[in-house]
Amino acid sequence: MDYAHILNHLGENRDQYFGAVSPPIVQTSNFAFNSLDSFRASMGNELGTHMYTRGNNPTVQILRKKLAALESAEDCLVFASGSGAIANAVISQVNQGDHIVCVQSAYSWTNKLLKEFLPRFGVSTTFVDGKDLVAMENAIQEHTKVLFLESPTSMHMELQDLPACAEIAKRHGLVSIIDNSYASPYYQRPIEMGIDIVTHSGTKYINGHSDIVCGVVCASHEIISRMFSKEYMTLGGIISPHDASQILRGLRTLPLRMKQSNASAGIICDFLGTHQAVEAVYYPHHPSFVQYELAHKQMSGCGGLFAVQFKTDSRDKMETFFNSLTRFLLAVSWGGHESLVLPAVALYDIPGKENPDMPVGFVRFYIGLEDAEILMEDIKNALADW
Ligand SMILES: *Cc1c(COP(=O)(O)O)cnc(C)c1O
């Protein structure tokens, strides 16, 4: 993949804007035409021309070209959030009476979409263990239209075998969709493995600076142009030209950021994996990971997100640990410059949020762009009494 070309040149027509190196923010809602003929032509081709910013905007279009290329996709659309992107992708593939097969432990709002929202419109979902391909295939019914994957998932980092899942979907005439937020297109490209639609929370690695919420859907021209003229234009969950410009800036450093987080997370997982306070480390490229071989087969790296199960049932002990950390912020989300911790206990005593797979000592770590040694020292100090 020619990242240098994609990130620095693709989609940028600098001679159209005074040779400016950084593309302009085309902050306009609509576009004027100099002849009735060109106006009429645009009416018939809203995706291919510039008429109205809910449809197509030049700043957003540069971003779309780069993101599609990074995912080896023909085209892409950008949305106001990752959840908006996922909802658009799923809704675009189902009608009343249809059925979806989805992996367990997908992102919480994906679950809500499938468990609570879509049933109101007559669309049902069966959830399966994504490691069990037989169960996955057995869950397919006569009206199943979509196979929804998330690999790795973002709490226990469970993987699905993507070429095998793509093959199952093809054999049964289903559209396969994957949430690829964890790996980013830098470390995993599902379309090259036969998956039909790739979604991202662009809020995470794609923007990478914790200052924008956005989402991405990548797919074939056919899928994207249909989605554009139906769900995308109807639901209108677009990003602004200004946000597109910010995301373009973030995207320029995607490889650098991914490599830095990946290298540091590897070092810190190695350290935690041998620490007496730790029961398990969940990081797909860590040698102790149950799906280690599959992870190496389909992901060229992991990035900065992993989870740790500490050996304790004590909420107090965990609280002391979090209070002792000075380099990690207590927060949701991930993919930015700053390192984070998300304790399981933060979800305790809240109706609908508690998860039996996340005991007291379970913590999700995100390793940002800081020096690994500094972060490791901070964790070491916080574990000094264990
Ligand atoms: C954050 C996240 C989402 C949702 O994205 P938003 O941009 O917050 O709407 C979806 N999937 C995964 C795996 C995520 O981490």
Answer with the one of 251, 273, 297 that is the final residue of a domain: 251
Q: Residue 298 belongs to a domain with what CATH number?
A: 3.90.1150.10
Domain extent, residue 87, equals 3-251
The answer to whether the CB of 101 falls within 8 A of the CB of 140 is: yes
Ligand 1 centroid to 185 CA: how many Å? Answer: 15
Pairing relation of β-strands 329-330 and 340-343?
A: parallel
Last residue of some domain: 231, 251, 271? 251
Position 73, amino acid: A
Measure Cα distances from 318 to 37, 323, 328, 376 in Å. 68, 9, 14, 17
Q: Does 35 share its domain with 118? A: yes
Q: CATH number for the domain including 42? A: 3.40.640.10
Q: What is the DSSP string of 161-178?
A: -HHHHHHHHHHTTPEEEE
Amino acid identity, position 168: I
Where is the domain boundary, 236, 251, 266? Answer: 251
Strand order of the β-sheet with 75-79 is: 75-79, 215-219, 197-201, 175-179, 144-150, 99-103, 124-128
Walk across the sheet containing 278-282 and list its strands: 278-282, 305-310, 362-366, 340-343, 329-330
Same domain? For 113 and 222 the reply is: yes
Residue 183 Cβ inside 6 Å of ligand 1? The answer reads: no
267 and 243 co-located in one domain: no
DSSP state of 24: P
Q: Is 270 exposed, middle or buried (0-12, 13-18, 19+ CB in 10 A)?
A: middle
Cα of 216 vs centre of ligand 1, distance in Å, is 10
In short, whether 105's Cβ falls inside 6 Å of ligand 1 is no
Answer whether 151 contacts ligand 1 (Cβ < 6 A). no
User: 203 CB less than 6 Å from ligand 1?
Assistant: yes
- Taking the complete model, does pTM exceed 0.85, yes or no? yes
Question: From first to last of its 386 residues, what are the pLDDT tens digits of the chain?
Answer: 999 999 999 999 999 999 999 999 999 999 999 999 999 999 999 999 999 999 999 999 999 999 999 999 999 999 999 999 999 999 999 999 999 999 999 999 999 999 999 999 999 999 999 999 999 999 999 999 999 999 999 999 999 999 999 999 999 999 999 999 999 999 999 999 999 999 999 999 999 999 999 999 999 999 999 999 999 999 999 999 999 999 999 999 999 999 999 999 999 999 999 999 999 999 999 999 999 999 999 999 999 999 999 999 999 999 999 999 999 999 999 999 999 999 999 989 888 777 888 999 999 999 999 999 999 999 999 999 89
Minimal CA–CA distance to 23: which of 207, 242, 253? 242
Q: From the CA of 182, give the closest atom in ligand 1.
A: 13
Find tokens 């911790």 and name the residue. Answer: 341
**CB of 81 shorter than 6 A to ligand 1:** yes
Same domain, 299 and 360: yes
Q: Are residues 53 and 183 in the same domain?
A: yes
Q: Is the CB of 71 under 6 A from ligand 1?
A: no
